[in-house]
């Protein structure tokens, strides 16, 4: 394929790195966003570069308006037009609490990153994609939002997280509708229980539940599983599916009786 570019928020580890690795295998040049100093992400960034692609690190917190703009500007200035935006950055509550005890600070922290930050970063990228599309009708662009089965699966011990992901799912629908005016598809991927740093604190809980039949596929999901899903979209496998939701959860949410 012709050389293409992608911006992945939260792309230096976990699910984001799984996505980055798959896109690197497909030959995409990558702008990787993360909140860590570049030196802390250097090992993974170099692994991506070893695949013969260009990798630019764009540090910043998407919850901060100034840093959001810096992330997007650096990605476009160093890689040129971005063909694929992958909204992956997200945070969990610092402390899981019953929804009757959750503080406003925790609510603002989670939604400020997962929903507000993603919304306005997507807005910035969308404007630039539209600009390039208007200048060159052959320019190909698409967006993928990584949400969670928590978008429609209630968990009262992390209510603010569920609300943020439900909102992000609607964000996907709204941008799919708006960007259809410019022939730019938007997709949503809902991961299930994925083995990452974020889920390490509940490993024992999910080990037992998976063993007891929580998922039809008898294992944890991996960042590579989500990477393959994004890679299928990035390869042009779903040109007639804008606005669709891809649930990658090992059968966890399938209705059973």
Reading the chain (257 residues) residue by residue, the pLDDT tens digits are 468 999 999 999 999 999 999 999 999 999 999 999 999 999 999 999 999 999 999 999 999 999 999 999 999 999 999 999 999 999 999 999 999 999 999 999 999 999 999 999 999 999 999 999 999 999 999 999 999 999 999 999 999 999 999 999 999 999 999 999 999 999 999 999 999 988 888 899 999 999 999 999 999 999 999 999 999 999 999 999 999 999 999 999 999 98
Residue ranges per structural domain of the chain: 5-248
> Strand runs (DSSP E) across the chain, as ranges?
5-8, 29-34, 55-59, 84-87, 142-146, 186-191, 245-248
Residue with tokens 């603010």: 160
The whole model's pTM is what? 0.96
Q: Encoding tokens for residue 129?
A: 């994609």
**Third-level CATH fold of 5-248:** Rossmann fold (3.40.50)
Question: Are the C-beta atoms of residues 196 and 223 closer than 8 Å to each other?
Answer: yes
141 exposed, middle or buried (CB, 10 Å; 0-12, 13-18, 19+)? Answer: buried
């Amino acid at each position: 394929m012709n050389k293409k570019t992608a911006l992945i928020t939260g792309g230096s580890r976990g699910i984001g790195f799984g996505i980055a690795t798959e896109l690197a295998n497909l030959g995409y040049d990558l702008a990787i966003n993360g909140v860590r100093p570049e030196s802390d992400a250097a090992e993974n960034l170099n692994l991506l570069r070893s695949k013969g692609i260009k990798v630019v690190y764009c540090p910043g917190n998407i919850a901060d308006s100034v840093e959001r703009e810096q992330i997007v500007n650096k990605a476009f200035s160093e890689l040129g037009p971005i063909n694929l935006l992958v909204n992956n950055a997200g945070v969990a509550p610092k402390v899981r609490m019953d929804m009757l005890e959750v503080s406003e600070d925790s609510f603002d922290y989670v939604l400020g990153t997962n929903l507000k930050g993603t919304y306005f970063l997507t807005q910035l990228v969308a404007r630039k994609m539209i600009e390039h599309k208007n200048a060159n009708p052959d320019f190909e662009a698409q967006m993928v939002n990584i949400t969670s089965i928590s978008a429609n699966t209630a968990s009262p011990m992390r209510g603010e997280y569920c609300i943020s992901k439900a909102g992000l799912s609607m964000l996907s629908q709204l941008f799919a509708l708006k960007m259809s005016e410019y022939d730019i598809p938007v997709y949503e991927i809902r991961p299930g229980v994925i083995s990452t740093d974020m889920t390490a604190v509940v490993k024992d809980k999910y080990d037992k539940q998976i063993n007891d039949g929580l998922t039809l596929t008898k294992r944890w999901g991996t960042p590579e599983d989500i990477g393959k899903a994004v890679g299928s979209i990035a390869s042009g496998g779903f040109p007639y599916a804008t606005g669709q939701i891809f649930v990658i959860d090992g059968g966890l949410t399938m209705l059973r009786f």
